[in-house]
Structure 1
């Protein structure tokens, strides 16, 4: 039964797990799957990298937990209302999230195009084709699918995402056991750095969690079955375990192989693939490459399709009667912008684009939700204890009471 009409306070484990898995899949985008995010943010922190990665996922899941509960308990209908509730009584601040969201979507699509182009350039250097020609080819393919085949690609994206996660974790585990420099890298880092990089490791954790908060609009919609505070917390504990284990394994594996892939030309652009190829396990690297490309293209298509669906009905396009033509104009503009971003290269997108957006998100998303948002949610539960999620409680009474406030 829908939560808005009253449901039991006890949410099944399967529902909590499915919502947690959505956050896991959302995190496993181009930056994570390529290993570039882990390398740029955590491997460079030395022996503190894996701990920073786990701390980052704790911050991230706690932020999403507060956002989902605030959205569900107040019966909100959009992420604009969510941020209005968070910032109340101060108005108009929510526009900063809009700016962050649009920039990050362009960065995400740009990163997907850049990763796919870099992978194709590494594996299929036909006729000496440059990276930039592959950017154009991938961007064109994404736009074509957006206009004519987005539905089919969207349906396949879940399978592709699962494939990339399974193959990536397999690479992480195999890479840890086969890493030639793992123990030495951690020992040298600990001996030379000690705790001098601790402030940086903490800051990186907040920054990484910040730019990942671009998934909030998706998560509050997927998380509507989580009608109580405890259900939101349970789901995010599951997601924390999935994300923390995967990211920490990635950081540990890449730390061990860093001397190998950083010595290769452009080996640090897609370090997971470079490490996999260095392991000399052809079937694993081949499977990973196929899943990576399909996942990246489907991510680009679904993201651009969402933008197209929102903006194609603007007045500026009202004179165009054909829906495919309207979609072509909108998606073409978005793809052009994303392709321009992708020209900067995956490493620069993640280092600078994601980095600066992360700084903004710390101020407007992470810190507000973990402080003001957590306080408002706790106060709401004290006033409406049915939303706490204890066994046998009912949310229906709380929904009625909230509607009368």
Structure 2
């Protein structure tokens, strides 16, 4: 089986880990994102996270399948090919969605990581964000192999940490969970929680450019299918477990800024659990920022690398990575996070018509056409 060169593991695992580590950011680590999209609707949170991850798995399967079969590993060329003959509409639209997500998520990552380090070890916020910026830049410029390797190691550490936190609390919360399930769900009805699950799937799909950028290690359709299945199992299990544990404290937990700390303080963990959460948030910040910035840098290479050489490509990649890092770092420093963070909701809305619907439609259409051609 083909291995990811830097990570010495099956290629599909490395790609699945990139999906997980991009998905796992500060919002996921703190639990606030899960409350916003799932837990606020009561016991619907038992299954709506799984719906969101299943939607992502199908979308990313079509994304990777086209990327590998057509050898397109930056999102501009992928969009032009996949959306053809409507690329003049959907490619610019995706450019907007991806960069909005990149700047929003990475700036929030800087702010979250900087604030966490300040709280845990007391170092200045600006210094913390500068250290994070340097780490992101160094990892990014080493390319896709380094991204996959870092994502793989971070994923292993994060998965172990999340299983320790939420797994140890799972037994303790069962009585609370039974009470929540026994009561009526939040009064909004069935459609709002399903709609939030679709929005969450759209938000995660908005960064498909980062996943295209690391798909070059996948060899064929079998690798693609394994990456999608492995990514779904990994993401669905972790987000499902986290949502269940947080749900057990519904509705008191809805107003908590960092729900996972509330879980630890009211369950199992104590001070050691708080420190572990801080480490996981820091790792989530690094992995999300790196994956997004690299996806953007791959796109910029096609615009600014005039000479067809590895040296010119590398120079363009370094410059693009530096620009993305500096801009998002600047947004975090100037206190625009509360304004920028509101973009998450808009990204979810925009991504459904711009990404979710067309990718599913064209993906299934190509699959049906391929099946018909093979039967002739």
Q: SS of the counterpart of 2:225?
A: helix
Which residue does the alignment assign to 2:168?
174
The within-5 A match list for 1:84-103 is: 84-93=80-89, 94-103=91-100
Question: Normalization by structure 1: what TM-score?
Answer: 0.74
Give the equivalent residue in structure 2 for 1:215.
207
Deviation at 1:206, TM superposition (A): 1.2
Which one is further off, 89-98 or 359-368? Answer: 89-98
Whole-angstrom CA distance in 1 between matches of 2:330 and 2:43: 40
State the distance in 2 between where 1:228 and 1:108 align.
Answer: 31
**Contact conserved, 2:11 with 2:223, CA < 8 A, in 1?**
no
Q: How does 1:228-247 map to 2 (within 5 A)?
A: 228-247=220-239
- Asked if structure 2 preserves the Cα contact closer than 8 Å seen for 1:17 and 1:235, the reply is yes
Sort the Cα spacing of 1:329 and 1:240 in 2 relative to 1 into closer, same or farther, 3 A. Answer: closer
Q: Match of 1:273?
A: 261
Q: Does the Cα contact within 8 Å between 2:213 and 2:295 map onto a contact in 1?
A: no
| Partner SS state of residue 76, structure 1 | coil
Unaligned 5+ segments in structure 2 are 3-8, 306-314
Query: Residues of 2 paired with 1:325 and 1:222: CA distance?
Result: 19
8 A Cα contact 1:106 1:341, kept in partner: no
Give matches, 1:186-225, under 5 Å.
Answer: 186-190=181-185, 193=187, 197-225=189-217
1-structure distance, mates of 2:80, 2:152: 32
SS in structure 2 of the partner of residue 95 of structure 1: helix
User: Residues 306, 213 of structure 1: CA spacing in aligned structure 2 closer, same or farther, 3 A cutoff?
Assistant: closer
Give the CA deviation at 1:291: 3.3
1:3-402 pair list within 5 angstroms: 14-93=10-89, 94-120=91-117, 122-123=119-120, 134=125, 136-145=126-135, 158-179=152-173, 181-190=176-185, 193=187, 197-259=189-251, 261-262=253-254, 268-281=256-269, 282-297=271-286, 299-300=288-289, 303-304=292-293, 331-340=325-334, 343-344=337-338, 349=341, 352-383=342-373
How far apart are the structure 1 equivalents of 2:214 and 2:224? 11
Cα distance between partner residues in 2 of 1:339 and 1:66: 38
Q: Deviations over 1:178-207 (max 9, x none)?
A: 2363222222234x64xx532112211111
Q: 1:400 is matched with which residue?
A: none
1:181 is paired with a residue of what secondary structure?
helix
CA contact (8 A) 2:166 2:245 kept: yes
Flag structure 1 segments of 5+ consecutive residues without an equivalent.
3-12, 127-132, 316-320, 386-405
**What CA RMSD, in Å, does the superposition of the two structures yield over aligned residues?**
3.7
- Report the CA distance between 1:376 and its aligned residue: 1.9
SS at match of 2:244: helix
- 8 A Cα contact 1:47 1:186, kept in partner: yes
How many Å apart are 1:61 and its aligned residue?
A: 0.5
Map Cα deviations across residues 328-366 of structure 1 (whole Å, 9 max, x no partner): 666433321344476318xx82xx322210111111111
TM-score normalized by the length of structure 2: 0.79
Equivalent pairs, count: 353
DSSP 3-state at the match of 1:197: coil
Q: Provide the residue aligned with 1:318 in structure 2.
A: none
CA pair 83-156 structure 1, distance change in 2 beyond 3 A: closer
Q: Provide closer, same or farther for how the CA distance between residues 297 and 200 of structure 1 changes in structure 2, counting only shifts above 3 A.
A: same
SS in structure 1 at match of 2:88: coil
Deviations 1:128-180 (A, max 9, x none): xxxxx63x343322334456676799665543332222111221122222236
Label 1:370 to 1:302 Cα distance change in 2 as closer, same or farther (>3 A): closer
1:40-99 per-residue CA deviation (whole Å, 9 max, x = no partner) reads 100012111121111111111100111111222234353222222332222412111111
Alignment partner, residue 129 of structure 1: none
